[in-house]
Structure 1
Amino acid sequence: MKDERTIVFLMDSYKTLNLQTDTSLLLMEVLIERGHRVLWLEPAQLTLQHDSVMGEVRAVRSVAPFELAPMFALALDQCDGLLVRIDPPVDSYYFHITYILDYLCSSVVQFNDTAALRNFNEKVLPLRWPELAPPSLVTSDSAKLLSFREKHQDIVVKPLDDCSGRGVTRYQQVDDLALDNLTAEVLDTHQKPRFVMAQRFLPAVSQGDKRVFLLRGEVIGYVNRVPRQGQFLANIHQGALCEATELSEKEVAAIDKIVPFLRENGLFFVGVDFIGGFLTEVNLTSPSAIRQINQVMGEDVHLYMVDRILSEIAEQNAGPSMPLWTCCVKSVA
């Protein structure tokens, strides 16, 4: 096929994927149907061999049923695009992956840029636009956390390195157990200090948490995620119900404000979250919910996503991909 592209998906193990929400498989399926080569790579198979980024990859033969070809070694500089789709936690292992990917040739288009994945935290990033975010505190000091709760009375505390609502706790009641638990939030499982985010609880979450999906700063779809009765977590992984929605003028204005920053930092796939008009998270690592957006909007948003991926690659590489038996010139030890 003329202009066939070779695109690597850096993925978690297939058996760990949530097939109800996963976006990557949708994109793979369309790319394969269009005649492009899709390669599956997991972090354990990623290495930096001197200054060459290597991967033990497997071609994706089909998505449904899921089938991979035998593994083979490949210098990733020979590929056209890399989609980093591994989920948090964003820990030292995750950071080390980004250090390795820094050595990729610039001809390999990264979605999202790995330096941006390393430099910006999904929960902290909204505070670059403080007027858009709810009252927030990032701290590893239990006294400051207690003071924040005393001021706002009803708060949520979030770990900075996870996703899907995992570890998010609401502190509403004041009793000894709640205070002990709140104090312990700033300690990890090894009793070492850690930073957490506290935010004033937003009662509007009962009406839903909007996920807005941006593609190079362009809004391509949105869905409202409503917590189950008696719950406050509006994550799909926590059982939230999905419904159609519209964006308010306040939310559109907030998106317009953050888009230049996203574009400047190579953030191609972004999932922006709003509760009651407040910007609560800017999801960068592996934003999902495209299946739910397709369902409530009656669209095939993933087809447009693939169009834009291929367009970005064509613009940067201006021609067909390199044959797999060629490679970028690298220094040797």
Structure 2
Amino acid sequence: MNICFIMYPWKEIDPENDTSLALIKECVKRGHGVAMCTPANLTIRDSVTNAFCRVINRMEKVPSTLKSFYAKATLREEMLPLAGFDAIFFRANPPLDPIMLNFLDSVKDDVFIINSLQGMREANNKLYTAAFGDAHSNIIPNTHVSKNKDYLVRQIKESKADKMIIKPLNGFGGSGVILIEKSAMNNINSLLDFYINSSDGSSNYVILQDYIEGADQGDVRILMLNGEAIGAMKRVPGSDDHRSNVSAGGSIAKHTLTKTEKALCKQIGPKLVKDGLYFVGIDVIGGKLVEVNVMSPGGITYMNKVYKNKVKIQEKVIDFLESKVVDNLQAFDRRSRLRKRVEDA
């Protein structure tokens, strides 16, 4: 099987904690061909979508640790047609480039892509969580999204809570997430101006969300595969930061899903699968869904560490990827045989 990872540059990989590297290493370990490219490496030649790829050379023995694998892997550069791969694993960081998706539209019927292009279009930012909320559901915290500063200020003033969370719509890794308090209303206007107004004259959407009690104790990252939870960890904020993201200084701990969290996963799982969002990371606080991460969900290496490699999540993910490729090949073979019978009739 040949797999192309569309992701961030190889040189930006954290060789000890990178989820993409764990997935790549698992593919190489199984003997699959692996190539990597960034969204900027996509190109069209003679009406065929290609990518300037960095291909991992075959290894006689795959090192046991991520760090040694990263150090010993050798790469060669080749221009390759995307439709020639069996699967494309999308792992690029936000924000989502719509032009890049247009490139991939040309091959979506030829190769299995995880996650689906339409699913990523719908769920690549923090608005997607609203799809799981309704008048009878308490699955998500009360949320406002707007570019209108006056509206956002009014919502802060009218909120019964003393604290709220403000964050940019397209942020990731905890960047730009701020805890605000009514006692500091004098700073809210300038803060919203900073978030909404860009230097190029455009404006940005801002998310205003009810603060969930217990958030100061951290959140739970759950990895979902094909609509089911396959791993979880508790992320605890550092002493000088309210954010629990590991990239923002948070620490990690074991976590067993609660009854409420299991029910949440069961409720949202079918929609994730329906939207083609097979590998997803969700963030949960107090049993409420805060974010759905569909572009480059992380956490595999950290979960493996806290559970002392008793649960190797990358194996489950690549097992699933292989099964989808086999299903697609069998379906293609069946269609070909049936069409031949009709042609020969």
TM-score (normalizing by structure 2): 0.86
CA contact (8 A) 1:102 1:115 kept: no
Closer, same or farther in 2 for the Cα pair 1:319/1:33, shift >3 Å? farther
CA contact (8 A) 2:228 2:266 kept: no
| AA matched with 1:69 | L
- 1:163 and 2:172 are equivalent in the alignment: yes
Separation in 1, partners of 2:15, 2:199: 29
Separation in 1, partners of 2:47, 2:237: 47
Give structure 1 regions of 4+ aligned residues with deviation exceeding 6 angstroms: none
Report the equivalent of 2:54.
58
**What is the Cα deviation at residue 230 of structure 1?**
4.2
| AA matched with 1:164 | G
Report the equivalent of 1:331.
none
**What is the Cα deviation at residue 319 of structure 1?**
9.4
Q: Which runs of 5+ in 1 are unaligned?
A: 322-333
CA contact (8 A) 1:107 1:316 kept: no
**What is the Cα deviation at residue 49 of structure 1?**
3.6
Name the structure with the higher helix share.
2
- 1:274 and 2:284 are equivalent in the alignment: yes
| AA matched with 1:7 | I
Separation in 2, partners of 1:38, 1:47: 19
**What is the Cα deviation at residue 143 of structure 1?**
0.6
- 1:246 and 2:256 are equivalent in the alignment: yes
Report the equivalent of 2:102.
99
Q: Give 1:108-187 correspondences, 5 Å limit.
A: 108-130=111-133, 131=137, 132-152=139-159, 153-172=162-181, 173-187=183-197
Which has the higher mean CA deviation after the structures are superposed, 169-178 or 217-226? 169-178
**What is the Cα deviation at residue 17 of structure 1?**
2.8
**What is the Cα deviation at residue 20 of structure 1?**
4.3
Report the equivalent of 1:328.
none
CA contact (8 A) 2:53 2:77 kept: yes
| AA matched with 1:159 | P
Separation in 1, partners of 2:163, 2:300: 32
SS of equivalent to 1:190: coil
Closer, same or farther in 2 for the Cα pair 1:212/1:98, shift >3 Å? same
- 1:313 and 2:325 are equivalent in the alignment: yes
Report the equivalent of 1:329.
none
Kindly provide the CA deviation profile for residues 95-154 of structure 1, in whole angstroms up to 9, marking residues without a partner as x. 111111011052311011122112223411111122311010010100111012112342
**What is the Cα deviation at residue 223 of structure 1?**
0.3
**What is the Cα deviation at residue 320 of structure 1?**
11
Report the equivalent of 1:37.
33
Separation in 1, partners of 2:242, 2:17: 20
Separation in 2, partners of 1:41, 1:230: 37
Which has the higher mean CA deviation after the structures are superposed, 46-55 or 27-36? 46-55
Q: Give 1:249-264 correspondences, 5 Å limit.
A: 249-264=259-274
Kindly provide the CA deviation profile for residues 180-225 of structure 1, in whole angstroms up to 9, marking residues without a partner as x. 2134322223342211111012231122210010111121100000
Q: Which runs of 5+ in 2 are unaligned?
A: 60-68, 334-345
Report the equivalent of 2:87.
81
Report the equivalent of 2:20.
24
**What is the Cα deviation at residue 312 of structure 1?**
1.2
**What is the Cα deviation at residue 76 of structure 1?**
0.9
| AA matched with 2:88 | L
CA contact (8 A) 2:52 2:80 kept: yes
Select the structure with the greater relative contact order (CA < 8 A; seq sep ≥ 6).
Answer: 1
Report the equivalent of 1:216.
226
Separation in 1, partners of 2:16, 2:187: 36
**What is the Cα deviation at residue 301 of structure 1?**
1.4
| AA matched with 2:36 | W
| AA matched with 2:212 | L
SS of equivalent to 2:71: coil
SS of equivalent to 1:254: helix
SS of equivalent to 1:143: helix
Which has the higher mean CA deviation after the structures are superposed, 41-50 or 29-38? 41-50
**What is the Cα deviation at residue 48 of structure 1?**
3.0
- 1:67 and 2:73 are equivalent in the alignment: yes
Separation in 2, partners of 1:186, 1:109: 38
Q: Give 1:280-319 correspondences, 5 Å limit.
A: 280-298=290-308, 299-318=311-330
Q: CA RMSD in A?
A: 2.0
CA contact (8 A) 2:94 2:124 kept: no
TM-score (normalizing by structure 1): 0.89
Separation in 1, partners of 2:81, 2:291: 35
| AA matched with 2:173 | S
